[in-house]
Amino acid sequence: MHHTIRAFLVGVCAVLALSGEPAMAQAQATVAGTIVDALGARISGARVTLLRDGSSVADATTGAEGTFSFASVAPGRYQVLASAQGFSSRTSAPLFVGGGSREQLEVALDI
């Protein structure tokens, strides 16, 4: 009886050890992109908010190249809200993020 229980526990531990790390790695995703004006020029200093179900999940500010990045994003449906001084704000179309994916988008702001 002890041999059967021990073999079962060793088997369970082996399965968890072999499958746990890849599943965890796949759960992480990245949402990144660029904020531009109507002519395609990159906007530095734009405020970018990652939204899930209409609620803020994370905030970022674009750098000199107008880029932003959100790491460690859980799978799900998101939108990106971007705004900058002198421009009207814009919310992106819904973005479906899968585990382990890197989603890239561009958001254009109008004056």
Query: What are the two backbone dihedrals, phi and then psi, of residue 11, each rounded to the nearest 5 degrees?
Result: -65, -45
Q: Residue range 3-18: average pLDDT?
A: 47
Q: What pLDDT does residue 52 have?
A: 96
pTM of the model: 0.74
Give the mean pLDDT of 52-64: 95
41 confidence band (pLDDT: 50, 70, 90): very high
What per-residue confidence (pLDDT) applies to 27? 75
CB 58 within 8 A of CB 49: yes
Distance separating alpha carbons of residues 6 and 66, to the nearest angstrom? 57
Q: Which pLDDT score is estimated for 33? A: 97
If pLDDT is split at 50, 70 and 90, which confidence band does 57 have?
very high
For residue 28, the model assigns a pLDDT of: 87
Asked whether the predicted pLDDT for residue 23 surpasses 50, the reply is no
pLDDT higher than threshold 90 for residue 39: yes
